[in-house]
Chains A and B, each alone.
Chain A
């Protein structure tokens, strides 16, 4: 079956190969640099494409929130307010760099870009289509969540570096919340791994070619979804940045593009987590009519829509109530889910 998206990407790859080959010949650059340069060019192209989608996601969130509140949100900047986020980013570029005099200057400057980069790097492990991926490893799931786990440490560092009270309180709460999610995450992830018997995203998606895992393990999918929202620090679990209590939490003392990078990090994480959810539970690129990669992106956007919907609906629990939910309710449920998986897998296995 001729997949148009794969064709396009192959065409682009050929094009880049052509140009790079010419450049390397004329300037006599050593050939061991060819492969890294190729990867670098493809990464930059991916970053550009990804930024467009990011713009769309942020715009969609603001419009959706507006419609649920019975109003129209951004309408004045560009058609249907589409350029509002570009205006926000541009404005942040000219804001002055203000931070407390006693703050740790090096940390203050290095943490935002590092966090933004680490939030986006895991996307390299997820395959978007049967032949569309950056890298494929036999243990990509573990590496994915290992990289994603670096973020809580940076959050606490950001809060601590500001040397001011509200960020410190926010950083402690964020740290607590972000490490608490990891146990239910691992346990519900384990359900998927047991059923697919592999730690590779590619194999997990291929194991769902007949039946998606969300139908086989609904409880696991629900737990993973809740845990994803906890990880993203979005409402209803946005205690570290709850406006009502500790102002902007650990982000208080950052201005200009540093804040812009934090703002962007949240949406990078949304993107990456939605991609992970789609790959693990929603069957990746399998679907009836459309070409595979488009199907993947469509499912991802449906997951993002659900995340935004949950944001507007629920009240916010307190930090210790949140931890109680994570430890006393989510962990038993995920163990139940594991039991369920262990019981039904022998019967399902022939059909996978």
Chain B
């Protein structure tokens, strides 16, 4: 505790003394985080420089909230640390009719995707950003900014998606005076190597990639805008479909955020059960990743199908618990499960889980041996797509990508949620940050999840409610809710802002894959065309999560 206090004291002293009257303290409802109000938005770069010197690692999230009543757009910057759970929050406001603010991308590259998104959906213009364009909306969109409160939804119907001519949907300029051996390829939305729909525009010479631009927005469903008109209970089904490979984690993150906002306590049995579900989901998601990566590396037949076979066994268990194979909607506000069936987890389910885990361990060792013995696997994965050390932190990677780069950062250890501080597990860390290390880190995470599950099955209380009943009157909240978990792909955050109604005022979702895929600007630079599949596979993309 005292470490957090010293860090918070330090931060406050430094910032308040250096920026004087442009900044003031802000009381947050969480004692482990520190907040500030920045009164002059143009000093954001100075504030960020000081934070960087103090040891803050990455800009986690840059949220824009439209406040028409105050005539301003509020921007919330959050920065995290690698060695403790302190998150620094900086709140600024920019005037609504001239929303300009200096960009922090030249200082911290990890802010680039967040700033692009804020420009795309809210219209805030960042000065000094290398490339200001629409990300989720089509490139030639000029029908307003959807997340503003006074945006007319009928405008969207006027976008001429039915016009199938080139000018309307691909205004991309190629320089005329380039040499004859440079060519451009679009590894487009329909491609077996991109998992889901995303596009990479590549500039190539021969077989080597010179530049790569990832292009998102293909599955953009506007969840953040849709959620503003749905009640807190109804948003759970949207969180499922955020990342279909690991839906429980998003249910969990949202439930944590909503419980934070509404002030609901969850019974202990539900917390242990949530841990069990989350770790099972981690294994399922990593098995899917293993199948996809092996398919991309060439054994489209054998190593693609064997992990999926193991995954089916876990999906059977999920189906026995909640009835669905892919999008569960199982973790709800207040606990786990729908009321009529919440008491129905029999003891035999846990025994079956134990049996499945034993089988799984044996099979995993077999698959590991098979893959390690193959020399071509090492040829394809060692030294490819390297992102090491501090470069990974600067670029904004989280999750297994960051751990493979040599940095020990896991939200379950740094900022424990649920009952993770009572469970004993390790975090695998790699050395070189190449594709091999990311593979190795994820495989070991699966083995660690097995340990966690074994401990949790022993420790879960046998009796107790799985969900508390929350009366509808309590489902209204003011203030903020912050849910932060470790998704199989990285750090997942949901930030809720409520204003007393039973629908949220703003929901902002930080998906790890969006930042991880923006790393492709850097990693793909000197790679070969044949390596794209391996590199994208090692970053484990799940496109619905990127585009929200």
Contact = CB atoms under 8 A, between A and B. Distances in A.
Within the complex, are A and B direct neighbours (CB within 8 Å)?
A: yes
Question: Nearest 3 A-B pairs (CB), nearest first?
Answer: A316-B298, A315-B376, A244-B533
Contact of B301 (A69, A169, A247, A318): A69
A165 interface: yes
A65 B301 CA distance: 8
A316 B529 contact: no
Interface stretch (A8-16, A206-214, A235-243): A235-243
A312 interface: yes
Nearest to A70: B309
B302 interface: yes
A169 B529 contact: yes
Of the listed residues A69, A239, A245, A247, the one surrounded by the most CB atoms of chain B closer than 10 A to its CB is A245
A312 B376 contact: no
B266 interface: no
14 contacts: A70-B305, A165-B183, A235-B298, A242-B530, A244-B533, A246-B529, A311-B301, A314-B376, A315-B294, A315-B374, A317-B298, A317-B379, A318-B528, A318-B530
A320 interface: yes
B207 interface: yes
Interface residues on A, range: 20 to 34
Given A68-B301, A236-B298, A247-B192, 12 more contacts: A69-B302, A165-B185, A235-B298, A239-B530, A243-B192, A244-B297, A245-B530, A312-B299, A313-B299, A315-B376, A316-B298, A316-B376
Contact of B192 (A239, A244, A321): A244
Nearest to B378: A315
B300 interface: yes
Contacts, number: 78
A152 interface: no
B339 interface: no
A244 B295 contact: yes
B169 interface: no
B524 interface: no
A319 B297 contact: no
Contacts of A243: 192, 300
A321 B376 CA distance: 9
B298 A313 contact: no
A243 B377 CA distance: 18
A60 to B, nearest CB: 15
A68 B305 CA distance: 10
A243 B300 CA distance: 9
Given A236-B298, A315-B297, A245 B529 contact: yes
A315 B301 contact: no
Contacts of A236: 298, 376
A243 B192 CA distance: 7
Given A318-B380, A321-B379, A242 B301 contact: no
Interface string A15-45: 0000000000000000000000000000000
Interface string B530-546: 11110000000000000
Contacts of B299: 312-316
Interface string B347-377: 0000000000000000000000000001011
B191 interface: yes
A315 B193 contact: no
Contacts of A69: 301-302, 305-306
Contacts of A239: 530
Contacts of A68: 301-302
Interface in A302-332: 311-321
A244 B530 CA distance: 9
Contacts of A311: 301
Interface string B458-488: 0000000000000000000000000000000
Contacts of B376: 236, 314-317, 321
Contacts of B377: 315
A171 to B, nearest CB: 13
Contacts of B193: 244-245
